[in-house]
Each structure stands twice: as C-alpha cells, then as structure tokens.
Structure 1
Amino acid sequence: MGTPPQPQQQGAGPYNPYGAPVPQQGGSAGPWHAGPQPYGAYGAHPEPGRYGCRLCGAWPAAHATVRGHQGLIVLMRFLSLRGPFCRDCGLATYRRMSSDTLWQGWWGPLSVFITPVTLLMNLGPRASFRRLAPPAGGYRPALDPGKPLWRRAPVLLFLAPVLLVLLGIPTLIGIALLVGDDEPTLSVGQCVADEWDGHELALRVRDCGSPDAEYRVSKRLETSDDRCAPLDRVTGSDYGRLGSTRTCLTPLPR
C-alpha cells in the first residue's frame, strides 16, 4: 500500500509576508507579484513592524508631528500633520508649515504668543528628520525640501522689521546722546550768557570777548565738598559732564 502524499506545510517553502507563495527561480509570477515592489523583491519592509513615509512610502522614516498656526484676528487655527516622514518629506513639510506660520500666525492677540511657541515646537521634528539617512524604496519620489527656512521670503519679511527695531533703538539712543538738546555741556574757561529760548532762560556759549558774554565757567564741582566762590552762580547738573556735574559761573566785569 502506497503512502498518501502529505500536504505542504505553511512554512515549507518561501513565502512573502502576506502568505502568498513566492515563485521559484525561473517560474512565472502570479498576479500577486505584478507591479513595482516598494521594499525589495518580495515587498518585505527592511525593518518589520514599522511603516514607511506617509507621503512617499520611503524608509527610514521618523514618527513626528509638524505644527502650524494661523491667526484670524478674532479666531485662530491650530494645524498639524502627523508622520511618519522620511528625511526629505519631513524637511519639506517642516519648512512649508513653518514658513506659512511666519506670515500667517501673528494676526491675533493670542496668536502673537502662540506663533513663536509653535515655531519652537517644530525644531524637535526638524532635528529628527535631519538625523535620518536618505530615503529609499518609496512607491513615489520624495518631496523636494526646497530652500532652507531662513532663505524663504516669509522669513525675510519677518526678520526685516525685527532687525529694524533691534538696530533702530541703539541708533536713536546714540543720536540722542550725540545731539542732545540745545543745552551745552560746559567746560572750564568757556564764557556763557543767559538767553530766552521761548520757554525759559538757558545758558548759551559765547565768545569771551563778546559784549554778550556774562559769565565764565571757573570750576567744576566734582565732589560734594567742592564749593563755588561767594559771588559765583552754580549751574544745574544738566550742564555738567554726562548730566551729573554742576559748575561754577563767575560774573564777567562790565
């Protein structure tokens, strides 16, 4: 009596991950084998249990969420796109959403504070994408990351007023210190006269030989112990060096 043939076991021959038999070398491929395979000859993922990029299917991919924000005067929108992303698709998504946030995110009272927080939160996904190897094995080409964020027009439009403010404040302070008002900083030996400026009497420097000169600057009161001569006039500290030193004015003979 002959032995009946034994049924082939599931694991006896080569199988793909979905249970369909793999054709032997030289055999014809069945319908399951038609079309391009994204992860190698048999469709097996290089790292089982993980997924490729959600946009192109390439691997390796990082699980991360890229965020955006839109301020709408009274209302606001919180945007997010969850991974996994490959390196190129992740960077392209990060740069696009962050660039849009830079010019769309400030138009609201609360959005002024939410926008910088959103941009800072995107730095974590950006670092994850940059650590990935170049994408491979996708079912479509990965997105082009494009220009770096700091070279895009919305960033330049955002940085321009910021730089103007940062540079403008020191410039205005410097001009104010250099120009000051009409009250001079007096030095010993100069001659001055009282003149009405439309609001009050103010000292103006005059040539000592001019008949308009009334006083000569004779001394600076550098310390609290310094004193002027009995007939001298004492100016306020606003005529002194750095606005902190008083001076003695001796009347000129008439």
Structure 2
Amino acid sequence: MSKLVTGGNKPIGETTVLVTGASRGIGAAIAERFAMVGMNVVIHYMNSHEAANDVARRCMSHGAKVLTVTADLKDKDQISRVRDKLESHGLMPDILVNNAGISHYGLLSDVTEEIWDDVMSTNLKSMFLCTQQFMPYMVAQRYGRIINISSIWGISGASCEVLYSASKGGVNAFTKALAKELAPSGITVNGVAPGAVDTSMMDHLEQEEIRMLEEEIPAGRLARPDEISSLVYFLALPESGYINGQIISPNGGWIT
C-alpha cells in the first residue's frame, strides 16, 4: 500500500478526500474505504444528519480525521460556504468523489419539467458546481484526483430510466472532456459506472424483480458497495496517474 498519495510529497495523513452524498450506500462505503488508510475524510450529506454521523463514527474508528458538512449541492452559495469551512479546517480536498445523485424510474411520457430539472440538477449541475469550486486548489498544487460516480445506464441506457440514463450519460461526457482539460495540471478525472448494487436505490424493485435481475448478471448477484469503493480508492492512488478520462463499469459481466 502506498504511503504517499500526491506525487511523493504529501503523506496519507495529510491527504483529504471529499465524498459527496456519503451518508449511505456507495458514498458511505467510499468514505470508510479512504478512512481505513488514515486519510482525512469529509463526509457531505444533505438531510440525513444521523446517518452521516454514523458514517463519521465508523470512519473515526479507523483513526481518520473526519468532518461532516451539509449542503444542497444544487446551490452554488452553499457549496462556496462548504469550501470556506474546509479551508478554515485545513481540509481542502486532494481527492474529490462526486457521488451525490438521485434515481428516477418511470415512463418518459410521465416525466414533468420539474422532475427533469431536479434529476439533472442533482446528478449533473451539482457535479459541475462542486468540481468548479474545488479544482483550483488541485490546479495550484498540480495534483489531484476527481472521480465521478456514474451508472451502467449512462453507458447503455435503460427502458423506463431515460431521464436517469441521460443524466449519467452527461456525467460520462463531462468526465472525458474535463480529463483532457486538467491532465496538464497533474489531475486525473475518471468515472465509475456501477451495474446493479445492493443499496437503497434498488428499493423500488420487488424481490422477484431482483431475483430476475440477478439471473441476468453473469456473476449471479448484485454488487456490494465495498466492491465499488475499492475501485474508487484504486483510481485515487498516485500509481493510477496514467488512468485518465476513463469510464470503468464494475457490473459483474452484465454489459461488456
């Protein structure tokens, strides 16, 4: 395991990761994975205060320095206040994991403008605003990792998930383009597009539907959140510096 994570000049204990939407599911697993190696972890949440505190306690049990922050990431002013708070605590992120997002299941004919705007703002605008707010610090130090959590549906599309698929397709395009823009500054930008993961995002499915889904997946099961977090951690390592602009899909062989 690497002892240094910023091109050889910043020890793990001085390296900070900000994980958005980290109060549950994949985000919580990502936060804890970084805490396990002793990195400083900033846990963002919007409304789930107690859940975020539970994640924070698990992270602190690994000896990590932890800070929780709350903000509506669709609001630039709220993100700016988060930035000021992190700067005052000496916790500007060397690694940004844009994980916050929401799903939507239903026919496109039933999607209202309000639903469209909410999903697009949560899944795309928030990523844009967070990245824009925190990447200048990475550019200044000429090192950084930005990892965007997408979805397999952003690659292949899914019936009755047109809106969600479109938003995650946007995440993928954003990732590829920004990778080219920031590469000269020593910053990598990659996407992780999981297949079906055993989180609350699957709650809209009945058990029989989940069983049928598992039968479609060559691995025969849903992914565990920790399997996704391990990939995110790998992409954040300095040894992964030549992996850039990639959308990697851990999906059990479902779509290749």
Pairwise TM-score range, normalised by the shorter structure: under 0.3
Q: TM-score, normalised by structure 2?
A: 0.25
Question: Which of the pair is proportionally richer in strand?
Answer: 1
* Higher share of residues assigned helix: 2
Q: Which has the larger radius of gyration?
A: 1
Structure 1 length-normalised TM: 0.25
Q: Which has the higher contact order (CA 8 A, sep 6+)?
A: 2
